[in-house]
Amino acid sequence: MRNIAVLTLLGMLAAFPGFSQTANATEQEVLKAFHALDDANIKKDRATMERMMADDYMYTHSNGSVLNRAQDIAETMSGDVKWTASKTEGLKVRLYGDVAIVTGLQTLTGSAKNYVSGPRRFTDIWIKRDGRWQNIGGQTTLVPAK
């Protein structure tokens, strides 16, 4: 009986590092996708945005607007949006199978009609479909000035 308990414990200890490595690799995949979409927004890269935003995408922006995929891409491509840089910090990824929640702080530099530049907290929702991560939406909230 004692041997079974020892073997079970050893098996559990051996399994946890593997799980941790797998979770960390998946988190890195999600963050890579997150950064690619963030860069695409700044660079107005329509092809990347179309590939990385799911068809059922819906986002609530810091100005209160709720946009679907087509609306969000059209707004980003318009001349009214002139973001020059995006800085993110405090990124955290939580995994739930084929769903990932990314939270953090984003600071946008530049200008955009009906938006305020500066820091905002965000929550992005990602889903793995057909072997790749796609953003299905999220929400941002402005950080009040101190």
**DSSP assignment letter at 12:** H
Which run of H or of E encompasses 53?
A: strand 53-60
| Cut 0.85: pTM above it | no
Q: Using the structure block, give the residue that is written with the tokens 């793995």.
A: 128
Domain ranges for the chain: 2-142
Q: Are 57 and 137 in contact (CB under 8 A)?
A: yes
For 125, list phi and psi in degrees, rounded to 5.
Answer: -115, 125
- Was domain 2-142 assigned CATH 2.60.40.10? no
The string of pLDDT tens digits covering residues 54-85 is 999 999 999 999 999 999 999 999 999 999 99
122 pLDDT higher than 90: yes
* 3 state SS of 52: helix
Q: Tokens 């953090």, residue?
A: 104
Confidence at residue 2, expressed as pLDDT on a 0 to 100 scale: 57
**8 Å CB contact between 31 and 133:** no
